[in-house]
Structure 1
Amino acid sequence: MIAGHRGAASLAPENTLAGFKKALQSGVKWIELDTQLSADNTPIIFHDETVDRCTNGNSRVADLSLEQLQALDAGSWFSKEFSGERILTLEQTLAFFMENDLNMNLEIKIHHAHQVQPLVEKVAKVLAKINFPNEKLIISSFSESALEHCHQVMPDIRLGYITKHNPLPMLEKLKSVNLYSVHLDYKILNQKMAKEIIQAGLKLVIWTLNDLQQASKFRAWGVDMIITDKPDVFAQA
């Protein structure tokens, strides 16, 4: 399976409606994206701790209200074509995914430990409100405590552990959250590691692979999902 990274990060500004539409047009059925809280505790779709790189603003996401965040231009940094693109709420994004029969790999983006509980609980409320199908969702995070809290408040949701390091020492600890998948930086994956992850009964996801020539190797190792900035290239292969 192919998943568009933050939508289609090579084609449109990341984590925006334009990016999700580009991924959809590419033919993929999975999209990876990030959520964190605004200052007034609304889950929004954004990756960085600050808005500086991907908008015309200059502040921490956590210091801006939803109204302030949605007043920013989240597209012009990528190209003039996307001028006026706005930061989305999780609720708006879930509605778009449901309308278009898309699957979501939602990363719980934790920049500081105190963010875990409020973010997870707000995400759980929005998912329940929208009634997003569990079978079309994986919630993932680098944060072990976020995964633990997700399991407590959303025990039926599939959970993925994201890491840049060998995940094998962590798998025993994460048994308590009934882990579904491991999401690895493709650069650290080797065939032995892949085999051990699969033998542990886990799905194997890699990010962010943009070289199509390497895809067949990873598929041969048993990788279940490839997250890429170039869903248009990978989906047609």
Structure 2
Amino acid sequence: MAKKSGAKKAVAKVEFQAPIIEEAIKEAMVEDMEGLEIFFDRAKIPSGGGLAFEIPGEDDDQPQLVQELVGVMVDHHPVNGYWQEKYSGGNNPPNCSSMDGKRGESTPGGDCKTCPLNQFGSDEDGRGKACKNMHRIYLLRSGEVLPILLTLPPTSLKNLSNYMAKRIITKGHRSYSVVTRITLKKAQSSSGITYSQVQFAVAEVLEKETAQQMAAFAEGIKRITRQIKVMDDYIIEVEEEDENLPL
């Protein structure tokens, strides 16, 4: 019998394996990483409406392309970055940045909510914001010890807000008590610019014991994740026309 056309593709079942961090590994991290900074692998969002994330491979010169990212969100928080000069290559930290989306450091610094550069109409085109409002997600994939970092551009923030409110919090869950599946879809701005928009879905609700393990893991990892500075790679990921306009 012929299969019906248009049938939905089955979603693979997810069985999340929480990390087992032995005491020897903890001691090694304390001793061998003293004075060193941890750099998390980063998942990059493509430009032009691409549907695959770029993540580091075994060879640094050969990144992998993956259709989805699946794991537990062990931390997520807003970050802001203002670059006075448009990105033109090189290692250029922002002139002002905020690690919590509330208070900026350096120039101009101060309260992000009232900062003139964080208002619509402050960019060079007089429409969007001069300051980039982004959101970091640290996703721990099954069997891994360290999470991968994904930075959301402004065009994907609404999807994250809807996911957290409608699929997580109001269902009695926490971001670290479910396995999240992250994918991309092609979208178009009001001015006709095609870009990649991030989508979220619950892939699995963790068992109580595993959720408790992940809660403890999430609490511990924040001491590291909340210290990572905003750098130039965020410009590459979010430099899309109209991205900082009102949704």
TM range (shorter): under 0.3
Normalized per residue, the structure richer in helix is 1
Normalized per residue, the structure richer in strand is 2
Normalising by structure 1, report the TM-score: 0.26
Which of structures 1 and 2 has the larger relative contact order (alpha carbons within 8 angstroms, sep 6+)? 2
Normalising by structure 2, report the TM-score: 0.25
